Structure 1
Amino acid sequence: MKAELRGIVKAIAGGRPAASREAILSRLGILAQGHVQQEITALRSPPNAPSTIRQKGSSNPLIHTGAMRAAVTFQLGESEGGGLLSSVSRSTLRVGL
């Protein structure tokens, strides 16, 4: 993942045309989305109580139905401040152009 992120940063810093920048930012959004979803899946602390595990059938403290993990998405859009990451709203990562 670090190597892919380095490649994305180099491409952005290299002054690519707008269409190429959009493709690069899409790659970055997909990478960030996958990383957040992976962290939600991998989290094990603090552990669920045994009664909670019996009730929901999972020891992962952030997963009950999987809806939260599935709701993590990214969206390309114009950034008000000109920054790369314009905002995080609900479960959507907004990546500015």
Structure 2
Amino acid sequence: MVYAEIYGLLLTQWALARLICEAATETDTAPDRVKYLRTIRIVRRHAMSEATFPPDRKERALRAVKADLVGRRGLNQPRRHRSYSRVV
């Protein structure tokens, strides 16, 4: 029973990471800029609101989730370029 729960959590984490990568790639954004906790909240909200949608509306629901992920509020600030020369 514990193995099944751990496996389920790992699959959920993998699915969220893949969703983040797909959404970021489609909008030419770095995947590390998408907020993970916000992704969880967005997916949970869409899953609860559209729990009974027919399979033919799956693509539309997925596009809506991806649009929310890479929206203005869903992104972290861009990281500054850091380079330090090592001096020996």
- For normalisation by structure 1, the TM-score amounts to 0.29
Higher share in helix = 2
- For normalisation by structure 2, the TM-score amounts to 0.31
Relative contact order, higher structure (CA 8 A, sep 6+): 2
Higher share in strand = 1
